[in-house]
Copies of this chain bind each other. A is one copy, B any other.
Amino acid sequence: MFETAEVGNSISKEKYKQEVAAVREKLLEIQKELAVSKCSAIVVVGGVEGAGKTEVVNQLLEWMDARGIETHALEKPTDEEIQRPYMWRFWRLIPPKGRMAIFLGSWYTMPIVYKTFKKMKDKDFQEHLDEIVSFENMLSKEGVILIKFWLHIKKDLLIKRMKKLEKDPLQSWRITKRDWNFVKKYDRFREVSETALGVTNTKDASWLIVEAEDFRYRNITVAKNIIKKLEQRRQLSQKESDFPLSARKFEHASNNIFKTLDYSRKVEEKEYEKKLPELQKELYKSVQKMQKKDKSLILVFEGPDAAGKGGTIRRIIKGLNAKDYRVISVAAPTDEEKARPYLWRFWRYLPRKDKITIYDRSWYGRVLVEKIEGFCSDDEWKRAYSEINQFEKELSDFGIIILKFYLSITPQEQLKRFKERQTTPYKQYKITPEDWRNRAKFRSYEACAIEMFEKTSMPFAPWFVIAANDKNYARLEVLGIITRELKEKVK
């Protein structure tokens, strides 16, 4: 794979001067276009140590308008990062629409370096690469333009280059011990990188291997390729006609889980009052055990309006320590959220180790309300299932326990609750005209939920569908399931 970058490409001083003028103009032009587009761009600069990654980036920042660009050089993860799944630190850094981020060291660094220094098993390496492919695929679909460079330089030339820099008193500081350590592992590093690049060289996130011996050739090649990639995307976006999105209707499938629910289940007040504190105490104990094992917990609540999500959550948190949990009520995204891939706003609030995040509505909005109301395109909700599964798999692999609850009520019960809300003063805030509009789509909502259960109920992140016509029953049921599942999953 690297042979194409070992042919001695170079550019003369004069030609470079001409090229630079043209390239700068073009870069700025295309950057301005990006600024007003619906896309963002991520430039990944990888390659062997000493090939001049930092220099390329400095050069790009000099040629472009540095104000639209953020540079991220990766170092040792912080403890806030260590305590969350591997990709969290990269999600944090995804640029908003219109902007470009340059990664000096990226999600490739850890797997490649660990594999090179034999600190990672084959299987884990492969799994990381698979995750990366899904991640980049998702980014690309969400409008992030991925431009990946690998700076390559032959071993003998690399050593020559480093020795030369070391001799120059003004440049010697650029060469560190770390660089020499990498030279020792050059062959293995090359082999590992070749595998990594091969697997992750996908259609929407292809690698360009850049011969880095001649700095002029290197800089111009990188710049030209950025221009090319951004131009390609522009042409593509122009072709994509913007269909106006509109509301959709869905029919129940034959395997209607809601028909199998027993909505008549009921718990009398007296029993409820007795059992609730017992279950809360149990919950508290299971959470303590979970924390001893350094695990964390995500609870997801979905269900139609007035199904009792908020009330159930309140009963759960009464059995928790305020310092251990966080309730995220998912409403309209902020503009910082809207400017980034869909899942960004949920990654933001992932629990640290030993902690709990309760999502009152969640990423499943994409395949429920957004799908029905036409807030997203067909492509978007259709690919959401696998994106969500991938997302939850990563969390689960990291040791996060995920439990998803769907509180189901009948349309009759919903109507009753709506009316009650309208007549109880302190409940009025809960009912809005939108709730009545949503009610008209009750069956579509259920149909979407059925598809959702089918496609996203996984062993590592199961759905629990609860008949919630009786609030007491539903609350005890949820509390019981959480405690039971925690006991099973924390051993």
- Other-chain contact of A32, B71, B281, B331, B429 (Cβ < 8 Å): B429
Chain B minimum-CB-distance residue to A172: B281
CB-CB under 8 A from A285, the residues of chain B are 173
> Interface size class for chain A?
35 or more
* Complex Cα–Cα for A429 and B28 (A): 7
Is the CB of A423 closer than 8 A to any CB of chain B?
no
CB-CB under 8 A from A62, the residues of chain B are 314
- Other-chain contact of A310, B24, B67, B310, B426 (Cβ < 8 Å): B67
CB-CB under 8 A from A65, the residues of chain B are 429-430
Tell me whether chain A's interface is mostly helix, strand or loop, or mixed.
helix
CB-CB under 8 A from A327, the residues of chain B are 66, 71
CB-CB under 8 A from A28, the residues of chain B are 426, 428-429
Q: Which of A91-130 contact B (CB under 8 A)?
A: 104
CB-CB under 8 A from A426, the residues of chain B are 21, 24-25, 27-28, 63
Q: Which of A288-330 contact B (CB under 8 A)?
A: 310, 313-314, 317-318, 321-324, 326-327, 329
A20 to chain B, nearest CB (A): 9
Is the CB of A18 closer than 8 A to any CB of chain B?
no
A164 to chain B, nearest CB (A): 16
Known A28-B429, A75-B323, A79-B79; judge A317-B277 contact (CB<8 A). no
Is the CB of A57 closer than 8 A to any CB of chain B?
yes
Encode contact with B along A330-359: 1 for CB under 8 Å, 0 otherwise. Answer: 010011100000000000000000000000
Known A313-B66, A334-B335, A360-B67; judge A104-B323 contact (CB<8 A). yes
> Contact at A54–B321, with CB atoms within 8 Å?
yes
A243 to chain B, nearest CB (A): 27
* Complex Cα–Cα for A167 and B288 (A): 20
A79 to chain B, nearest CB (A): 5
A323 to chain B, nearest CB (A): 3
Chain B minimum-CB-distance residue to A31: B429
Is the CB of A73 closer than 8 A to any CB of chain B?
yes
Is the CB of A181 closer than 8 A to any CB of chain B?
no
* Complex Cα–Cα for A429 and B68 (A): 12
Encode contact with B along A57-97: 1 for CB under 8 Å, 0 otherwise. Answer: 11001110111001101110011100000000000000000
Which of A284, A360, A426 has the most CB atoms of chain B within a 10 A radius of its CB?
A426
> Contact at A170–B79, with CB atoms within 8 Å?
no
Is the CB of A459 closer than 8 A to any CB of chain B?
no
Seed contacts A57-B322, A63-B426, A334-B335; 19 additional CB < 8 Å A-B pairs: A21-B426, A25-B425, A27-B426, A28-B428, A29-B429, A32-B429, A58-B317, A61-B314, A65-B429, A66-B313, A66-B314, A66-B329, A67-B360, A71-B327, A78-B79, A78-B80, A79-B80, A170-B281, A335-B335
12 contacts between A and B (CB under 8 A): A28-B426, A28-B429, A31-B429, A58-B314, A65-B430, A66-B314, A67-B360, A80-B80, A169-B281, A173-B285, A334-B335, A336-B336
A residues engaging B (CB < 8 A)?
21, 24-25, 27-29, 31-32, 54, 57-58, 61-63, 65-67, 70-71, 73-75, 78-80, 104, 169-170, 173, 277-278, 281, 284-285, 310, 313-314, 317-318, 321-324, 326-327, 329, 331, 334-336, 360, 425-426, 428-430
